[in-house]
Amino acid sequence: MRNLVKKKLKAGEASIGTWITIGHPDISMYLADLGFDWLVCDMEHGPFGPETYHFMVQGMLYNRERCMPMARIPWNDPIWAKKALDAGATGLVIPRIESAEMARDAVRFIKYPPLGERGAGPRLAAFRDPDYFATANDETLIVVMIETRRGVRNIDEIFSVEGVDACFVGPSDLTMDMGIHRKYSHPDFIDALDRIVEAGERHGVAPGMHCTTAPGPTNINEALKRGFKFCAIDSDVAFLREAASQALKGITASRAGEAEKVEV
């Protein structure tokens, strides 16, 4: 396995992907073809079991060399980790990491012995890859989510854990935990973002965040300027709704005129 996302991040370059919440392989197939570095299937909140995720990765095989399949598993759990990895995930995003101990657990669940305890039974992950066992420990991307005040307080000890490659800020969850839900311009949230970026620079961990195109600190371009490297832009649902909304807005005047004629 060769993980182009991990290579970019280790070189200090930004890597851009998006979030998938619709459980159909056509979604991953079409999005993987557009130029994203990676796609994360949301197994925490989305309708994804191991079978569906397997099909989502199959949908990306045409672009396997340039768009990496990843997953956010529901929890820091060895069963979910190995199910997603065996289905072909080249990296995992682990929710709600708040301590070095939790980060060490994540690394242990993801790595093969002697570095961890992952069982040796890959399916789609090792398809046409005779070197998978030799490369998986080095190439699999481990991303810890920082979603709470405790996680921010313990950021240095979390980032000091060997094997942690990147982090991912969930802005909605973090601001909710801080008591300022979705107030992304709040000084406390801005301070938390800066602390995470600075800690990432100290420990060689790529900071990341879920971003949008809306103005403010979570805007994709603002996040990149701030120093974030592993960034998701919107999601499949956001793209679908935005495109459909724009299409409808383009015919609003015509539809209004038709309505007036009917009333007369």
Active-site amino acid positions: 45
**139 phi and psi angles, rounded to 5 deg:** -95, -20
Q: What whole-number distance in Å separates Cα of residue 68 and Cα of residue 5? A: 7
- Please count the CA atoms within 13 angstroms of the CA of 179 that sit on its side-chain side: 1
**Over 145-165, what HEC string results?**
EECCHHHHHCHHHHHCCCCCC
User: Where are any strands of DSSP class E within 1-136?
Assistant: 15-20, 38-42, 68-72, 91-94
Angle at 118 (CA atoms; ends 112, 121), nearest 5 degrees: 100
- From the list 25, 104, 36, 110, the residue with the least C-alpha distance to 73 is 110
Q: What whole-number distance in Å separates Cα of residue 69 and Cα of residue 60? A: 7
Q: What whole-number distance in Å separates Cα of residue 27 and Cα of residue 57? A: 10
Q: What whole-number distance in Å separates Cα of residue 115 and Cα of residue 76? A: 17
- From the list 141, 167, 144, the residue with the least C-alpha distance to 223 is 167
Q: What whole-number distance in Å separates Cα of residue 6 and Cα of residue 142? A: 9
User: Where are any strands of DSSP class E within 43-80?
Assistant: 68-72
